[in-house]
Structure 1
């Protein structure tokens, strides 16, 4: 059954289109949510979510990329792979991660999602090496890895498979931090494992 996507904010020449996965599940965020966009780059998701009325913080190590973020987005320059986490103790209504994997950050990313908050994650998985980069195992999820990482959370949606335009193999998840929260009033979608998504 097709799902309707929230309207996109006006596009700019410098910002790429947001991931269809993020667009599809942005409706799970509460009104005026505080969102953390990890490894945000030039801000395709930060700009999209800001356009929906959310307050966004973007982290990236590249100052040139952060300089392209739209006004109003909090930019945090940090090397999150080699230095201390720049937002200790802070929690967000949603954490968004796309096309990025650094496994030592799993505990920090999960801890950054408040109880009842949402993790939206999409990145490359084993098998992507047949289509291009990344191809190193360090940067490719194992089958089912996101499900293991989010064990104990409410899984709203999960997919693993081949995407086209461009061809790549990805794994993606939407999970609600419900370890201590009341069950979500939202109906949860069955997890899916399509061969082609």
Structure 2
């Protein structure tokens, strides 16, 4: 167990260095396609209520219990396959913040947008088509086209947008990053 705790990666700098996100009060957060839960755990440690959602929760950090301790009962853990049609739709206007990292299933864009409360925020970071030149993923179904993410949320207030090289833990990738606020009405 101890060895796995040491392998838990820190939350994305997109999350930890955002002035906008640091000002959020206790919020309802959805960590969609959460993987190890690194980004959702960052918010859980700060007292937010987090829904961890992934096809399988087997990769959810074993350190989550020690990191969020007895607060874990206030969190929700959903093992849903969002791509095969078996999962219920995401609840509309439920979350103050939705986090999506390294995941792209274009048919979910409307559900993801609808899940954010008016005035809520989305943080989305995933690979762009240039990524195929240097590594995985290479499948165009998992790679955004130029400005695709920004165009998907064009009616939202853009707080941050970037496309290009991202260096994390000495690994280079090509990604799009978006932080946007949903209109109040």
- TM-score using structure 1 length: 0.80
2:131 corresponds, among 128, 132, 151, to 128
Which runs of structure 2 are paired with 1:1-197 in the superposition (5 Å)? 12-25=5-18, 27-28=20-21, 30-66=24-60, 68=62, 70-71=64-65, 72=72, 73-82=75-84, 83-85=86-88, 87-89=90-92, 91-164=94-167, 165-180=170-185
The offset of 1:63, in angstroms, is: 3.4
Structure 1: distance between partners of 2:108 and 2:171: 27
Structure 2: distance between partners of 1:74 and 1:112: 15
Indicate the RMSD between aligned Cα atoms, in angstroms. 1.8
Structure 1: distance between partners of 2:93 and 2:117: 9
Structure 1: distance between partners of 2:95 and 2:111: 12
- TM-score using structure 2 length: 0.84
Structure 1: distance between partners of 2:61 and 2:183: 35
Native 8 Å contact 1:89 1:112 kept in 2? yes
Q: Give runs of ≥4 in structure 1 deviating > 6 Å.
A: none
The verdict on how the C-alpha distance between 1:158 and 1:94 changes in structure 2, with shifts beyond 3 A counting, is same
Native 8 Å contact 1:66 1:77 kept in 2? no
Structure 2: distance between partners of 1:64 and 1:52: 23
The offset of 1:30, in angstroms, is: 2.4
Give 1 or 2: higher helix fraction: 2
Q: Which runs of 5+ in 1 are unaligned?
A: 1-11, 181-197
Structure 2: distance between partners of 1:78 and 1:101: 15
Native 8 Å contact 1:113 1:177 kept in 2? yes
